[in-house]
Structure 1
Amino acid sequence: MNIEQQPLPSSQPLAEAMIHHYSKVGYFYEYDLTRREEWVRRIDWLKQSDGRRLDRIKLTQVLKDFNREHNPHEAVMASIDLLEQEGTAVIVGGQQSGLLTGPLFVIYKALSIIKAAKEAQEKLSHPVVPVFWIAGEDHDWDEVDHTYLLSADQQIKRIRIAKRSEQRTPVSQVKVMQEDWGQIADELDNLLQNTEFKSGLLDAYRTLASQSGTLTECFAKLIGTLFGRFGLIVMDSADPHLRKLEVPVFERMIKQNDELEQAYLSAGKELAAGGFSLQADVHEGGANLFYVHEGERKLLFKQKGVFTDRKGTCSFSADELLAELHAHPERFSNNVLTRPLMQDSVLPVLGTVLGAGEIAYWALTGKAFQAFGIQMPVLVPRESFTMIDGAVQRNMEKYGLEWNDVNNKDSLSDKREAWLKEQDHLHLEERFAEIKSSFEAMYNPLIEQLGTVQAGLIKLGGANRDKIIEQIEYLRNKSMDALAKSNDSGVRHFERIEQSVIPMGRLQERTYNAFYYLNRYGWSWIDELAGIPYDVTGTHRILYL
């Protein structure tokens, strides 16, 4: 495998600045990830603040129970035992529980967590374990119910799992029927090309799915199968046993809700003043907490001292909400702004692995961390890759294409058109253009002269001219189609490059699912990715397989 660094233009200038120009935006954050002394400072703060977080013994018992069921690797149990010891820190990152693990970047995030934990432990000579936080409390089913694969005939195909209720229920509580898991297995079987790894991959999926009642459970088992041997602990934010432990944290969030709201609003104003767009919604009166009412997850707001949802279907005074919390903690969850506070109140977080968009919206939480009496952890960008297999690489070389030629749909389309033009040895485009121009140059003066004979002939002549030009254009288009068909092999090569590298005009890691690559390269593909040298800045890299 050859590896080539290819930084991508960032769509998140705030994240770009935090990684490469920390001094310009450091007042939104807490630690500069590129300086070792900042990591040491974070370790020191974790030692001093250990009593502010959940009891380690109780927390690790919850983690043991969850991982014994879904991720029972001995390396994972060793990580949990280490976490139980005072002083052990974690590198954590999270994601929604997508179908078949979701897009490739979820795989890269898990690997980044593992690598960052290993790197920190070695360089700081301090115990650090990796943790994957599944956002099972999220209710956006449409975001997680599908994934994309490149089929055996090189077509982009979507696989989607059904939801049998329209309620906005947390994903961890949505039941998936065995017949639905079976339908996914059948689609995989039909779409994936036949390889030496296919049978074992499908058998592994069927076994894990048959033991899963929800998307979150299947996701946890798949992540465990792929990364358990690296000691990656998996936890579900919607785990009811974890929720009971979190009651004191939610209680503080309710009691300090006005203070937290002002912190988010103030940070939002500072970001806007600095020319940065807000990457998360910040509302006046926003409680930044969710409550599950009659099976539906509802975002809470404050109106005249009452906590209620937008439609007013449920409402509580602060005291009533606290009573409800103690009676039914499983009904409460965080939004994107309070989740970072919960994460740091639950775990001894040395660093949290984030995508660029997440780094940008975490800037909104800095003042809230201060108001809550804790510190934002080190923010660690996840690693980013594009994989180019041998056939695609050969096609790129054949047509003289570099990464910058294929990294977006428009540039690749321009290169394809330029190549097709080079195949036009008759210079059809130029000749048809010349014919149109010459025809109009001769015909237009004639039309004007005909107007001296009879005024109506000008309109008739114009219509006649347009029909002739239309026919010339028709023949031009047919000729160009014929040219393309005569070079069909090359056109298909360009299509394969596009579908492999920038499917649907997006980065490969944001579209395709890991099962395509597991089917092609086997389980050892994960080991190859794990063996790639760690890059703390998350610079995009091209992997030539």
Structure 2
Amino acid sequence: MPTDCISYQNSGYFSKLIVDYLNQKPEVQSLYHRFPKPEHFKLQAEEKRTTFPLENRAVLVNALAKQYQKLDVSEATKTNIQSLKNDKTFTITTGHQLNLFTGPLYFLYKIVSVINLSKQLKNAYPEYDFVPVYWMATEDHDFEEINYFHFRNKKIQWNRATSGPVGRISTEGLQEVFNVFSKELGVGANADFLRGLFQKAYLEHTNLTDATRFLANELFKEQGLVIIDGDDAELKRLFVPFVKRELLEQTSFKMVSETNEKLKDYTVQVNPREINLFYIEDNLRERIVFEGSNYRINNTNTTFSESEILNELENHPEKFSPNVILRPLYQEVILPNLCYIGGGGEIAYWLELKANFEANAITFPILLLRNSVLLATEKQVQKVDKLNLQWHDLFSGQTEVTNRKTAEFSNFNLDFSEQKAFLKNQFDKLNQIAMQTDKSFIGAVKAQERKQLKGLENLEKRLLKAEKRNHQEQLLRIYEIQNELFPNQSLQERKANFSEFYLDNGKRLLERLLEELIPLSQEFKIIVLE
């Protein structure tokens, strides 16, 4: 088995902003509060303890009790929920869309990351309690992003017309999806478990929120995971002062726009709107737009004066939904949270938000990149060993690894750098002669130099191409194993669904993740499955 490790920074799968964040570059240090180091979590807990109101804890626990009424709640989860009343209990949170049957693999990695970090912090700081939280993105409206999952390169998709927040969508029509998936699963105990899990989650619950809550609870209830739905009137009431400020002052637009100016050397993940709120009902999720002296619900005929919209906010806070800019603030207002764990894209947009948190006097959480994993079978690792590959070869782009391995296989040097350097040296001498004799000769010398160098480059390319043909069989085997582990030249965790691996490994899959993922590590974890 290859022994090299792949850091996130060297994997080639993260943006410059995330790489600079992981490397704690001075250019980005103003964008975060505390870097995720073990000793910083105690400081974060002490600060959050003094700034998070006890009355918010009571509202939170009551809301969670109602949300869990219809679930089989484990003792570990019950204990965690009740412990949130205590001012020495804090949350470690991740969030994710309501993807059909969890969507891609990294759904699991996010949740295992918050579970394992909570355990690690409890061992380090036993005077505190730490609760792993999964925030369901029930108020999103991008149904096309969540209505499918991949199983063994087959796309299992739920087609229907929708509008409004995805969490409120009826599960009607999922019987047909279940029938397709059930046939793909085949026979066996693990297939029966997956079949039953899908059936109980989606065919025995009436909306996507309840289905997703059941599914996540079934997978992680013994680990004490707490699942929260922010689409909740009681919780929204805690956020009313911040919504009011957003409506009247547009603070987030000003603060995030200023931060984005500092990010001009990076790709900005999200841009703020003047008002970063949606107005939602069961079949409606539209932006609130300020026009003249009124507030209009986009794509509708509904308008409010200032006093009317503030009255609506007071009476129906559940109708006001934060967008991507304000959702993190909402989360930190209602949770005694220390750390948010997310993917590269999520951490990138969180890095735009610190100034807005400060303007609203809310403690900015520690930001941690979730664990990333490559799952491989023993048979695949044997192939990798036989081909004398390292993990960095497989993480490389196909052209890069092809050129590198062709050079290794070849009996002679395919790099003409030495010849190019020699040629350039000769033309430097000719240029000196031209300068001393006839300067009009310089142009001809330069033109000949370009021609000769171009000729060498073409010969180099032709030789490489010829050697690729000579080693075609070995290269094809490299392509095959790389395509198995990196489908469509992308990370496995961004495409494959957990069911594909659960089918062969059963509950041992989750056990291995819980055993092996180290949240504060900055390396891809390679897990070899039996």
TM-score, shorter chain, exceeding 0.5 = yes
Which residue number corresponds to residue 264 of structure 1? Answer: 256
> Aligned letter for 2:174?
W
Which residue number corresponds to residue 30 of structure 1? Answer: 33
**Contact conserved, 2:397 with 2:489, CA < 8 A, in 1?**
yes
2:14 aligned counterpart, secondary structure: coil
Q: 1:408 to 1:303 in 2, by over 3 A?
A: farther
How do residues 31-110 of structure 1 correspond to structure 2 at under 5 angstroms? 31-34=34-37, 36=39, 38-51=40-53, 55-70=56-71, 72-110=73-111
**Contact conserved, 1:288 with 1:335, CA < 8 A, in 2?**
yes
Tell me the alpha carbon deviations over residues 456-477 of structure 1, each in whole angstroms, 9 at most, x when there is no partner. Answer: xxxxxxxxxxxxxxxxxxxxxx
Which residue number corresponds to residue 458 of structure 2? Answer: none
Gaps of 5+ in 2: 411-468
CA distance in 2, matches of 1:25, 1:412: 30
How do residues 33-432 of structure 1 correspond to structure 2 at under 5 angstroms? 33-34=36-37, 36=39, 38-51=40-53, 55-70=56-71, 72-125=73-126, 126-150=128-152, 156-163=153-160, 165-167=161-163, 169-177=164-172, 180-192=173-185, 194-255=187-248, 257-272=249-264, 275-283=265-273, 286-292=274-280, 295-311=283-299, 313-407=301-395, 410-411=398-399, 414=402
**Contact conserved, 2:143 with 2:162, CA < 8 A, in 1?**
no
CA distance in 2, matches of 1:75, 1:288: 37
> Aligned letter for 1:517?
F
Tell me the alpha carbon deviations over residues 135-176 of structure 1, each in whole angstroms, 9 at most, x when there is no partner. Answer: 1000000000011111xxxxx11001122x343x10011111
Q: Equivalent of 1:521, from 498, 501, 505?
A: 505
2:131 aligned counterpart, secondary structure: strand
**Contact conserved, 2:133 with 2:228, CA < 8 A, in 1?**
yes
CA distance in 1, matches of 2:368, 2:328: 14
**Contact conserved, 2:63 with 2:235, CA < 8 A, in 1?**
yes
> Aligned letter for 2:251?
E
Which residue number corresponds to residue 491 of structure 2? Answer: 507
Shift of residue 309, structure 1, vs aligned partner? 4.6
Q: 1:512 to 1:4 in 2, by over 3 A?
A: farther
Tell me the alpha carbon deviations over residues 15-36 of structure 1, each in whole angstroms, 9 at most, x when there is no partner. Answer: 2222221544111111121261
Gaps of 5+ in 1: 151-155, 423-479
CA distance in 2, matches of 1:534, 1:5: 14
Shift of residue 270, structure 1, vs aligned partner? 1.7
CA distance in 2, matches of 1:70, 1:413: 50
CA distance in 1, matches of 2:116, 2:86: 21
**Contact conserved, 1:408 with 1:502, CA < 8 A, in 2?**
no
CA distance in 2, matches of 1:203, 1:340: 34
**Contact conserved, 2:201 with 2:212, CA < 8 A, in 1?**
no
1:330 aligned counterpart, secondary structure: helix
> Aligned letter for 2:157?
R
Tell me the alpha carbon deviations over residues 397-452 of structure 1, each in whole angstroms, 9 at most, x when there is no partner. Answer: 23333323322562488379969x99xxxxxxxxxxxxxxxxxxxxxxxxxxxxxx
Report percent identity of matched pairs.
24
Which residue number corresponds to residue 540 of structure 1? Answer: 524
Tell me the alpha carbon deviations over residues 495-529 of structure 1, each in whole angstroms, 9 at most, x when there is no partner. Answer: 65244311122100000111111111001210111
Which residue number corresponds to residue 153 of structure 1? Answer: none
CA distance in 1, matches of 2:25, 2:36: 9
CA distance in 2, matches of 1:181, 1:312: 30
Shift of residue 244, structure 1, vs aligned partner? 4.4
**Contact conserved, 1:109 with 1:383, CA < 8 A, in 2?**
yes
Q: 1:319 to 1:538 in 2, by over 3 A?
A: farther
CA distance in 1, matches of 2:218, 2:281: 35
CA distance in 2, matches of 1:304, 1:254: 13
CA distance in 2, matches of 1:287, 1:54: 28
Tell me the alpha carbon deviations over residues 254-290 of structure 1, each in whole angstroms, 9 at most, x when there is no partner. Answer: 34x4222211111111222xx122100234xx20111
Which residue number corresponds to residue 418 of structure 2? Answer: none
CA distance in 2, matches of 1:98, 1:91: 21
CA distance in 2, matches of 1:246, 1:183: 40
CA distance in 2, matches of 1:119, 1:4: 26
Which residue number corresponds to residue 414 of structure 2? Answer: none
Q: 1:294 to 1:191 in 2, by over 3 A?
A: closer
**Worse overlay, 120-129 or 73-82:** 120-129
Q: 1:3 to 1:494 in 2, by over 3 A?
A: closer
CA distance in 2, matches of 1:404, 1:193: 35
**Contact conserved, 2:245 with 2:251, CA < 8 A, in 1?**
no
CA distance in 2, matches of 1:18, 1:412: 26
Shift of residue 293, structure 1, vs aligned partner? 6.1
> Aligned letter for 2:171?
V
Which residue number corresponds to residue 439 of structure 1? Answer: none
1:33 aligned counterpart, secondary structure: coil
1:13 aligns with 2:16: yes
Shift of residue 334, structure 1, vs aligned partner? 0.8
Shift of residue 118, structure 1, vs aligned partner? 1.4
CA distance in 1, matches of 2:490, 2:478: 16
Which residue number corresponds to residue 454 of structure 1? Answer: none
2:503 aligned counterpart, secondary structure: helix
CA distance in 2, matches of 1:490, 1:266: 50
2:58 aligned counterpart, secondary structure: helix
How many residues get paired?
465
CA distance in 1, matches of 2:486, 2:367: 28
**Contact conserved, 1:2 with 1:544, CA < 8 A, in 2?**
no
Q: 1:215 to 1:144 in 2, by over 3 A?
A: same
Shift of residue 223, structure 1, vs aligned partner? 0.9
CA distance in 2, matches of 1:82, 1:533: 25
**Contact conserved, 1:382 with 1:538, CA < 8 A, in 2?**
no
CA distance in 2, matches of 1:400, 1:289: 54
Q: 1:416 to 1:518 in 2, by over 3 A?
A: farther
CA distance in 2, matches of 1:308, 1:6: 50
CA distance in 1, matches of 2:72, 2:228: 10
CA distance in 2, matches of 1:385, 1:303: 48
2:268 aligned counterpart, secondary structure: coil
CA distance in 1, matches of 2:55, 2:323: 20
CA distance in 1, matches of 2:266, 2:38: 25
